[in-house]
Amino acid sequence: MGNKVNLEYIVDGSSRKATYVRRKKGMLKKLEELTTLCGIDVCAVVYSEFHHQPLVWPSPPEVQRMINNFNNYSEFGKSKNMMNQESFLEEKILKATEKLAKFEKENREMEMSMRMFELMANGNIIDNMNNVELNDMAWIIDEKLKHVNWRITELDNKASTSQSQAQMADEAVKPIDKE
């Protein structure tokens, strides 16, 4: 693993220029890889204190073509994938909240299942449960019963299908009576 780079302004001019040249080369290589691997338009405009004119990659006419294409999109097309910091964070918070709610539900289901199994193993712990816990327990039992009934139906369907197939096979191999 590489060493962490201290991201701060490089005071020494020659060291700063060497870092600029090296990082610029690496960035342009990554942009080219992104363009090739993903088949997308990518451009860069780099201003630096080391050159009077900005570096335009891949070329000024190509960058102008990309900008013109972007400007020709409708306002909706331009902005549908754009986000500002606030909308980005709102989306992340919403996803995290949904994930938290899912985990809380799963944890509650596991907790109620464990309590139900304790009840079956140890007897009367139901006296220690409040109405919310009793309602949750009833919901868990109902869900488990639905699953059991679904499984029974599936097994019955498989058994009847297998039985029908066996009967059809038996009929297919019966000898023909000659009279």
Torsion region of 157: left, alpha or beta (phi above 0 gives left; psi -120 to 50 gives alpha):
alpha
Q: Where are the beta strands (DSSP E) in 21-148?
A: 44-46, 55-57
CB-based contact 57:46 (threshold 8 Å)? yes
Residue 6 lies in a domain: no
Q: Are residues 67 and 91 in the same domain?
A: no
**CATH code assigned at 28:** 3.40.1810.10
| pLDDT score of 68 | 92
Residue 135 has pLDDT above 90, yes or no: no
| pLDDT score of 178 | 56
- pLDDT interval class at 82 (50, 70, 90): confident
- Asked which of 22, 54, 75 is the last residue of a domain, the reply is 75
Rounded Cα distance, 51 and 20, in Å: 11
Rounded Cα distance, 93 and 99, in Å: 10
Taking only the tens place, the pLDDT of each residue in 3-62 is: 787 889 999 999 999 999 999 999 999 999 999 999 999 999 999 999 999 999 999 999
Residue 150 lies in a domain: yes
Q: Are residues 90 and 126 in the same domain?
A: yes
Tokens of 81: 């994938």
Q: Are residues 93 and 144 in the same domain?
A: yes
As for how many domains the chain has, the answer is 2
Average the pLDDT over 56-75 and give the result.
91
Say what the pTM is: 0.44
The answer for residues whose C-beta is within 8 angstroms of residue 83's C-beta and 6 or more apart is 91
Q: How far apart are the first and last CA of the chain?
A: 88
More confident call, 100 vs 81: 100
Whole domain around residue 116: which residue ranges? 85-171
